[in-house]
Structures are given as C-alpha cells and as structure tokens.
C-alpha cells in the first residue's frame, strides 16, 4: 500500500475511534438513565446501530455474491467475504447485548421469539458462509459455492426486519426516547457506519490494488 493510502487509512480509523469516544462519552455521561429499565437501557445505543449494520452488511454480501457470479472478479468475492465477517460480528453484538438486556429487564437470558430466532439464524448462516470459505478449495470453486450460498442466505434478512413488525413478539417494536437519547444515538450510528464501511472497504481496496498491479505487470510483460 502506498504511503498516501496508508496515511488515508490511518486518518480514517483515527476519525472512527474519535467518533467512538464521543459516542461512549455521551452514552455514559449525557444520556439520562431510564427510570423503568435503569442503566441497562444504555445498551440500546450499541444494540440498535449494530442490528441495522448487520442487515446492511448482509446486503453487501448479497451484492458482492451476485456481482461475482456476473463478473467472476475476485474483488467482488472479497467484498462478500468482508461483508460476511461484519454481519457475524454485528449479529453477535446484537444477540449478546439483547441477552444482557433481557436478563435485566425480563429476568431471562433467552426466549425463542421471532426477532431473536431470525437474528440467531442470520448469525449462524453467515458463520457457515465464513466456514465454507475455509474448507472449499480451490478459490474459484470456493467463490462460486459461497456466492450461491450467500445469495440464498440473504433470504433471512427480510425475515429479521419483518418479524418484529408482523409477528407477535416480546421484543419491543419501538422505545420511547428523549431528545437526549436521540442525540446520543447519532454518534453511535456514525461510528457503526464508519467501522462497518472501513472493515468492508479495506480488504476490497487491497484486492483491487493487487489486481491492478497484476494487470499492469502482465501488460508490461506483453509489451516487452
């Protein structure tokens, strides 16, 4: 990676960490404590953005898979792989924060509600996707198998989104938020967007750079 690209990456991640610092500070010291839920309510500032990020990351996997099947470019395969890692990570955050919240508010760690079940399925589906990438060889066969699997796995995404709205569920469809709570959510959404985009874009940019360097080297050999 060039010095300019490395400097840009460092600036990007430094900005991301700065936004995280602001988000954590606002959650701890600015946002009020909910009277009915207590301190555990503050988990919503990470829980909600992570849930939305998981769905968008899964969408990036879907787009990358379809684009790979169309173009057979390893850049798109890399995008799908990176998106799957973000999907699993964000889904785990959603599940863990939800379990802590449930234990504190409901008195139990887990219930097979539609929202929780489909979120767990989402996490497992994309964990299996990452597992396939480790065991299927060679790379072109792995990419095709994972692209088809990933495109099918995306069917769970609308189920996660619609389950909490269309099916009876203990999971709340909305939470009453004060203006301070809404303001606190903003830096958390910005942080999750920056972190998710960076985690997906960085390996894609590296793959694209290697592809360009390979093409340039091949052109020089042909010209010589």
Q: Please give the chain's pLDDT, 224 residues, in tens.
A: 555 567 788 899 999 999 999 999 999 999 988 777 778 888 999 999 999 999 999 999 999 999 999 999 999 999 999 999 999 999 999 999 999 988 887 788 888 888 888 899 999 999 999 999 999 988 899 999 999 999 999 999 988 877 766 666 666 656 677 888 899 999 999 999 999 999 998 888 877 776 655 555 544 445 45
Q: What's residue 202's pLDDT? A: 84
Query: Considering the entire predicted model, what is its pTM?
Result: 0.88
Map out the domains of the chain as residue ranges: 11-204
Q: What's residue 134's pLDDT? A: 93
101 and 40 in contact (C-beta within 8 Å)? yes
């Amino acid at each position: 990676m060039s010095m300019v690209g490395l400097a840009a990456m460092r600036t990007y991640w430094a900005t991301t960490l700065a936004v995280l610092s602001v988000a954590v500070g606002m959650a701890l010291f600015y946002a009020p404590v909910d009277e009915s839920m207590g301190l555990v309510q503050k988990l919503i500032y990470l829980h909600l953005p992570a849930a939305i990020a998981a769905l968008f990351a899964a969408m990036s996997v879907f787009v990358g898979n379809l684009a790979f099947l169309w173009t057979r470019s390893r850049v798109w395969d890399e995008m799908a792989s990176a998106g799957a890692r973000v999907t699993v990570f964000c889904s785990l955050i959603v599940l863990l924060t939800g379990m802590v919240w449930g234990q504190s508010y409901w008195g139990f760690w887990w219930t097979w509600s539609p929202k929780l079940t489909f979120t767990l399925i989402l996490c497992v589906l994309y964990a299996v996707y990452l597992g396939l990438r480790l065991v299927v060889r060679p790379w072109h066969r792995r990419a095709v198998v994972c692209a088809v699997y990933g495109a099918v796995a995306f069917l769970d995404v609308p189920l996660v989104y619609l389950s909490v709205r269309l099916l009876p569920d203990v999971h709340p469809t909305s939470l009453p938020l004060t203006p301070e709570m809404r303001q606190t959510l903003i830096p958390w959404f910005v942080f999750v967007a920056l972190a998710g985009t960076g985690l997906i874009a960085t390996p894609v940019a590296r793959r694209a750079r290697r592809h360009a360097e390979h093409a340039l080297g091949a052109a020089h050999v042909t010209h010589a």
